[in-house]
Structure 1
Amino acid sequence: MSDIARIAGVSISTVSKALSGSSLVRPATRARIEEIALAMNYGVDESARNLRLRANRTVSVVVPQGPFLRQTLSDPFCLALIGRIADVLSDSGHDMLLSRTDTRRPATMARDFETGRARGLIVIGQGNHHSQLNEMAARGIPFVVWGAELGGQDYVTVGGDNLEGGRLATEHLLAQGARRIVFVGDTGLPEISLRHAGYLRAHRDRRLPVPPQATALLPWDRQDLPAAIDQLLTSDPGIDALFVSSDAAAMRITNALRGLGRPVPEDILVVGYDDIAMAAHFHPALTTVGQSTDMAGVALVQTLAAILDGASPASVRLSTQLFCRASSIRGAGRIAAE
């Protein structure tokens, strides 16, 4: 792309906008850039065809994956979000390209745009790549991120109100009488960190001390989960509730607790996050914080469309809602047994 910019006598950002069909670039300039790109065989054959037709209608949905990022395409929330994005893109006449990128090579996140396979990107999750995403924005790459709004952010995000969601979940557990609540999740990730901040805020609002064992990172996707939970409970026998940062993890932890003879909610209360479809049908039904994948899919596509049109939209923060179910209600297990 830099070679095209040099030959055309324009900036890389202008080349990026021209090749994505932005109306901010004058027609004559866009046509010259497209001619140079074609002459240089820029991108793949499909890209060249799209440039000739000026009709690239493909959006790439990028899902980062790495050894320390437990986000897989089989995750129910991720699946539901991608499915909704696909529906909205299809309704607007776009095709969807699904891509995985290695978090150890963050530069690959922009690959589908830079090769001309897609006119814009929707990135699912920030991971620990805030600076790389800022660099992508500085290069004029059109993209939007599902994630948390952070300080010093040059890119646009769409995400749930994680701070409020964390506060709602913790306040509910405190209202149930829990006083030794452990937050389970990787607080090194932006969204999880904000949920943890909500956990802390709920304690402050009630002027209650945070328990000594305030956070835990349990291997919920490994076979040694029961042993890790047993070690946690042994280290602090007074633990009476877990606020788990995802529903998928909360369900596995609940099953592990049952196997250890610590049933939910009789012994320990559990709250998850995401309100995936299975949460209401789990046993016991899982209390969780919901963030609407329907609203998220629409907001992500609309925000990307605005960026492609040359606008500078603000980040979007979607509301969250607590769904109270049996897993966090004192006495719910006894009532169900009766």
Structure 2
Amino acid sequence: MSKKSVQTLEDIARLANVSRSTVSRALNNSPLISKQTRERIQAIAREHNFCLNVSGRNLRLRSSRTIAFVAPMCFPPVASAEHLFGLEMLGAIWSGLHELNYDCLIVHSASQDTDWVHRYLHSGRVDGFILMESSFKQTQIEALVQMKVPFIVWGMPVSPFNYCSVTGDNVAGGRLATEYLIRTGRQRIAFLGGLKGTLTVENRFKGYEQALQLAGRALDPALIVYGDYTYASGAAGMQRLLERAPDLDAVFVNSDLMAIAAINVIQESGRSVPADIAVVGYDDLSIAGYATLPLTTIRQNIPLAGKLLAQNLIQHIETGLVTNVTVPVELVIRKSA
């Protein structure tokens, strides 16, 4: 077959001895076929100077090849310096979508609002949505499920609804942080949580509680406070802990930004970190290693999480498969504990 005669997906399929759908998936970098098959088909297409008619394909398939990252209008804004985790996750999602030849659109939504589904999905502007669990209420998730909207959530799935999710192993993270503090001789270990009532924070607390129980220690309500992931809430929470329990010698904080705030409050009180009070954060954001006092923290693999959010949502759109994936976490030891 001459190069000039290769004009359609069917032509490539005959040369590669595969189906038309396999060729389509290979040229769109679909994760549903093997890397070897994808690269072989792409090589044949390049050899014959074959290019997809993207606009025609999208119109025919009713696909925009665009995924929306839904950012609620809340405080702190998801894409802001006060929400560093959201910024790093957004970057990882964008990278994952880019690998699959998809674009990423940031969509803002008001509290309790699902009108954005009609504005963006039903108008054909996007093919699906990526949400952050801590920014959405259960009623919104339920509404999306009932409307059969293609979406995926970063965070624990809410029972009994069946939808795609990717989350870190928050129970293991809470347990790792607390066990490390116990091993290093800390006696009065506080818990400075994120948003109270969210599954993510509840599971981190569960890991904290499990580690204390295994060490034969009882929970002390004076050592438990919550914030909202902002720097200000980390500072305020640490101040409350010092007032309630001035003899505490360690604190497990549910975000790196809150942990940095906690360290500043501890130092301003005349105490030393980690000599007087050890601090362990959560997430291992870029700032954790560059802080004035490099932060011991629980690492969530954000690049992998973003890639899985992109891949698994597109897989769901193409096949209907619902996946719930838990990404392992690990302890990173630096100078704060």
SS at match of 1:182: strand
Residues 234, 257 of structure 2: 8 Å contact kept: no
Give the aligned partner of residue 143 of structure 2.
135
Q: Structure 2 matches for 1:232-243, cutoff 5 A? A: 232-243=241-252
Q: Which amino acid aligns with 2:256?
A: D
Q: Which amino acid aligns with 2:80?
A: L
Residues 235, 265 of structure 2: 8 Å contact kept: yes
Give the aligned partner of residue 262 of structure 1.
271
| In 2, Cα distance between equivalents of 1:166 and 1:222 | 20
Runs of 5+ unmatched residues, structure 2: 1-54
Residues 110, 141 of structure 1: 8 Å contact kept: no
Q: What's the CA shift string for 1:234-272, capped at 9, x where partnerless?
A: 221221111110001111111122122122112111000
- Between 180-189 and 198-207, the greater mean CA deviation after superposition: 180-189
Q: Which amino acid aligns with 1:207?
A: G
SS at match of 2:125: coil
SS at match of 1:326: coil
Is residue 2:283 matched to residue 1:274? yes
Q: Which amino acid aligns with 1:198?
A: G
Is residue 2:66 matched to residue 1:61? no
- Cα gap change, 1:126/1:220 in structure 2, threshold over 3 Å: closer, same or farther? closer
> Residue 187 of structure 2 is aligned with which of 172, 179, 192?
179
Q: Which amino acid aligns with 1:295?
A: L
| Runs ≥4 residues deviating over 3 A | 49-55, 69-73, 106-111, 218-231
Q: Percent identity?
A: 32
Number of aligned residues: 281
- Deviation for aligned residue 1:311: 2.5
SS at match of 2:107: strand
CA RMSD of aligned residues (A): 2.6
SS at match of 1:82: helix
> Residue 112 of structure 1 is aligned with which of 97, 120, 140?
120
SS at match of 2:319: coil
- Deviation for aligned residue 1:65: 3.8
> Residue 315 of structure 1 is aligned with which of 293, 307, 324?
324
- Cα gap change, 1:199/1:228 in structure 2, threshold over 3 Å: closer, same or farther? closer
Is residue 2:119 matched to residue 1:147? no
Runs of 5+ unmatched residues, structure 1: 1-46, 329-338
- Cα gap change, 1:111/1:184 in structure 2, threshold over 3 Å: closer, same or farther? farther
| In 2, Cα distance between equivalents of 1:226 and 1:305 | 40
Residues 220, 252 of structure 1: 8 Å contact kept: no
| In 2, Cα distance between equivalents of 1:88 and 1:218 | 31
- Cα gap change, 1:226/1:303 in structure 2, threshold over 3 Å: closer, same or farther? closer
SS at match of 1:327: coil
- Deviation for aligned residue 1:228: 5.6
> Residue 307 of structure 2 is aligned with which of 274, 298, 309?
298
- Cα gap change, 1:110/1:78 in structure 2, threshold over 3 Å: closer, same or farther? farther
| In 2, Cα distance between equivalents of 1:224 and 1:154 | 33
Residues 106, 129 of structure 1: 8 Å contact kept: no
Give the aligned partner of residue 191 of structure 1.
200
| In 2, Cα distance between equivalents of 1:197 and 1:225 | 20
Give the aligned partner of residue 166 of structure 2.
158
- Cα gap change, 1:305/1:219 in structure 2, threshold over 3 Å: closer, same or farther? closer
Q: Which amino acid aligns with 1:184?
A: L
